[in-house]
């Protein structure tokens, strides 16, 4: 069992933690009624289990279709209306049971319902456990782009039970490992090494060891939590979490969101690490080690067909994180440490350098 503390809530990581959901909800998130928000892939057995633990009296389940297409204002409005119709009020709390889509959506419902009510994150995908459920960023997508409408709203507790990953489709487990690699590159070379060694055991459900999965999830959360603790509102240090994401987001958009986020970030990390070495920001072996880790997980390392250099550059320039002038990237200095300079954790890169690396 691992417990990780953030300023206003704790994260419990434990194989079998779902059995404690009622205790944790009652002690951290007292409410008259609980609204369990989930999707149709997760409702059975995981959300049903949560409802059973909470006791069905006063608890109600709100189920949305799975996938990114549910992370919209329309779904937010539907769930909010259903909660109002069902008589939920200011004294209610939300339990988000699902992947990152459910966490972001349910968190945004919690941030806005009656001007903000408490919520508990019960992440069920690897991405949601090690990334989306930590940090309090909630929101929805718009036709103009992902995550453009939202709010910072911290949960009152996060309950990560790696046992629920047994039903997660393998491609989503693999995609989650992309973010685990990112955490290793950002902050912990030993963690990256151990994850790379454990990959075959972790990927195969029949050999996946509960203690190893628990350790993987817990260490990744610790790394993200440490960064978020020091920079809750993304003023500086939190930029390091964007490693692989400037190029990764552009690839994701260029694919029309047909590729998984973790797959795009994997390719982004390979190219951004190459950029860091070319510029002399990173030690020479860094890009090779990042690529080796990505290959070992079985994630892609090259740009997908159709993602042309021009298209990617246009998308990067349109990204909300890009200010006018030079493109900026969160780059590693070596495995386990990110580059910083002039008080920021992102490095300006000439367009010609970006073009050169993408074309190589
Ligand atoms: N708030 C943040 O800081 C943050 C960080 C990273 C990602 N995100 C967001 O998270 C989303 C991606 O997360 P995701 O990959 O979890 O997406 P997701 O919620 O769509 O889950 C992926 C798929 O796995 C299914 N699933 C989830 N858990 C399962 C389980 N235990 N068993 C069977 N099926 C299961 C889902 O139904 C879905 O089909 C994106 O919208 C992204 O923007 C947010
Ligand atoms: Zn990501």
Bridge partners for 13 per DSSP: 2, 160
CA of 301 to the centre of ligand 1 (A): 22
pLDDT higher at 319 or 154:
154
For residue 90, give the DSSP letter: T
Measured CA to CA, the distance from residue 64 to residue 107 in angstroms comes to 14
Residue 236 is predicted with a pLDDT of 85
Q: Please report the DSSP string for 205-270 in residue order.
A: TTT--HHHHHHHHHHHHHHHHHHHHH-TTSSSGGGGGGTTHHHHHHHHHHTTT-S-HHHHHHHHHH
* CATH of residue 94: 3.40.50.1970
For residue 319, give the DSSP letter: S
Point out the domain boundary residue: 132, 167, 202: 167
Pick the atom of ligand 1 nearest to 39's CA.
37
pLDDT at 285 exceeding the cut of 80: yes
Confidence of residue 344 (pLDDT cuts 50, 70, 90): confident
**Residue 53's Cα: distance from chain center in Å?**
26
Percent residues over pLDDT 70 in the chain: 99
pLDDT at 17 exceeding the cut of 90: yes
Measured CA to CA, the distance from residue 247 to residue 269 in angstroms comes to 8
- Residues 210, 284 within the same domain: yes
- Residues 72, 35 within the same domain: yes
- Ligand with minimal distance to 269 CA: 2
Pair 223, 188: CB distance under 8 Å: yes
Residue 324 is predicted with a pLDDT of 61
pTM assigned to the model: 0.95
- Residues 30, 150 within the same domain: yes
pLDDT tens digits, 20-59: 999 999 999 999 999 999 999 999 999 999 999 998 778 9
Residue 326 is predicted with a pLDDT of 83
The two structure tokens encoding residue 16: 């079998």
User: How do strand 10-13 and strand 157-160 relate by DSSP bridges?
Assistant: parallel
The two structure tokens encoding residue 176: 């989650």
Residue with CA at minimum distance from ligand 1 atom 16? 99
Measured CA to CA, the distance from residue 149 to residue 233 in angstroms comes to 15
Residue 62 is predicted with a pLDDT of 98
- Residues 283, 137 within the same domain: no
Residue 320 is predicted with a pLDDT of 53
Q: How far is residue 226 from each of residues 162, 218, 232, measured CA to CA in Å? A: 21, 12, 10
Confidence of residue 264 (pLDDT cuts 50, 70, 90): very high
Q: How far is residue 338 from each of residues 19, 176, 326, measured CA to CA in Å? A: 38, 21, 19
Point out the domain boundary residue: 167, 193, 227: 167
- Residues 154, 245 within the same domain: no
Count how many domains the chain has: 2
- Residues 83, 123 within the same domain: yes
Pick the atom of ligand 1 nearest to 134's CA.
3
Point out the domain boundary residue: 116, 136, 167: 167
CA of 184 to the centre of ligand 2 (A): 14
pLDDT at 333 exceeding the cut of 90: yes
Q: Rg of the chain over CA atoms, in angstroms?
A: 20
Q: Is the CB of 136 under 6 A from ligand 1?
A: no
Confidence of residue 319 (pLDDT cuts 50, 70, 90): confident
pLDDT tens digits, 214-231: 999 999 999 999 999 888
Pair 11, 134: CB distance under 8 Å: yes
- Residues 26, 133 within the same domain: yes
Percent residues over pLDDT 90 in the chain: 90
- Residues 128, 186 within the same domain: no
Report, as residue numbers or ranges, the catalytic residues.
Answer: 115, 137, 179, 224, 234, 238, 242, 245, 249, 261
The two structure tokens encoding residue 226: 């440490």
pLDDT tens digits, 222-256: 999 999 988 877 778 899 999 999 999 999 999 99
The two structure tokens encoding residue 136: 């309090």
pLDDT tens digits, 102-149: 999 999 999 999 999 999 999 999 999 999 999 999 999 999 888 999
Mean pLDDT of the chain: 95
Residue 194 CB coordination number (10 Å): 16
Pocket test for ligand 1, best of 107, 119, 127 (most atoms within 8 A of CB): 127
* CATH of residue 283: 1.20.1090.10
- Residues 186, 149 within the same domain: no
- Residues 99, 175 within the same domain: no
CA of 64 to the centre of ligand 1 (A): 13
Residue with CA at minimum distance from ligand 1 atom 19? 99
- CA atoms lying within 13 Å on the CB side of residue 328: 17
The two structure tokens encoding residue 132: 């989306």
Residue with CA at minimum distance from ligand 1 atom 34? 168
Residue 241 is predicted with a pLDDT of 95
- CA atoms lying within 13 Å on the CB side of residue 209: 9
pLDDT tens digits, 179-205: 999 999 999 999 999 999 999 999 999
- Ligand with minimal distance to 100 CA: 1
Expressed as residue numbers, the domain containing 131 is 2-167
User: How do strand 59-64 and strand 33-39 relate by DSSP bridges?
Assistant: parallel
Q: Is the CB of 198 under 6 A from ligand 1?
A: no
- Residues 186, 297 within the same domain: yes
- Which residues does 260 contact at the CB level (< 8 Å), separation at least 6? 171, 172, 175
Residue 321 is predicted with a pLDDT of 54
Residue 322 is predicted with a pLDDT of 55
CA of 275 to the centre of ligand 2 (A): 19
Q: Is the CB of 145 under 6 A from ligand 1?
A: no
Pocket test for ligand 1, best of 132, 160, 174, 238 (most atoms within 8 A of CB): 132
CA trace torsion 135, 96, 113, 81 (10° rounding): 150
- Residues 101, 233 within the same domain: no
């Amino acid at each position: 069992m691992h417990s990780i503390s953030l300023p206003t809530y704790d994260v419990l990581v434990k194989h079998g933690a779902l059995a404690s959901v009622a205790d944790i909800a009652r002690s951290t998130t007292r409410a008259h009624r609980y609204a369990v928000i989930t999707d149709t892939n997760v409702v059975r057995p995981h959300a049903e289990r949560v409802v059973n633990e909470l006791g069905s009296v006063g608890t109600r389940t709100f189920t949305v279709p799975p996938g990114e297409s549910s992370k919209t204002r329309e779904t937010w409005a539907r769930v909010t209306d259903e909660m109002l119709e069902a008589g939920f009020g200011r004294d209610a709390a939300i339990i988000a049971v699902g992947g990152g889509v459910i966490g972001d959506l349910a968190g945004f419902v919690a941030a806005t319902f009656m001007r903000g009510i408490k919520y508990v994150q019960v992440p069920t995908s690897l991405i949601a456990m090690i990334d989306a459920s930590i940090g309090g960023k909630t929101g929805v997508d718009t036709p103009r782009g992902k995550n453009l409408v939202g709010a910072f709203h911290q949960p009152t507790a996060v309950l990560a039970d790696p046992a629920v990953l047994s039903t997660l489709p393998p491609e989503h487990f693999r995609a989650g490992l992309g973010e685990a690699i990112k955490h290793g590159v950002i902050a912990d070379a030993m963690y990256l090494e151990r994850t790379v060694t454990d990959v075959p055991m972790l990927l195969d459900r029949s050999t996946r060891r509960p203690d190893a999965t628990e350790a993987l999830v817990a260490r990744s959360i610790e790394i993200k939590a440490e960064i978020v603790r020091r920079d809750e509102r993304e003023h500086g240090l939190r930029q390091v979490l964007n490693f692989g994401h400037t190029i990764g987001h552009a690839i994701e958009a260029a694919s029309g969101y047909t590729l998984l986020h973790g797959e795009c970030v994997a390719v982004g990390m390979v190219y951004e690490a190459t950029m860091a070495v070319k510029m002399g920001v990173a030690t020479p072996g860094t890009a090779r080690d990042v690529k080796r880790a990505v290959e070992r997980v079985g994630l892609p390392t090259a740009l997908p067909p159709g993602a042309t250099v021009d298209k990617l550059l246009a998308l990067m320039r349109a990204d909300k994180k890009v200010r006018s002038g030079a493109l900026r990237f969160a780059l590693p200095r070596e495995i386990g440490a990110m580059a910083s300079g002039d008080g920021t954790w992102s490095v300006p890169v000439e367009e010609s350098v970006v073009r050169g690396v993408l074309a190589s």
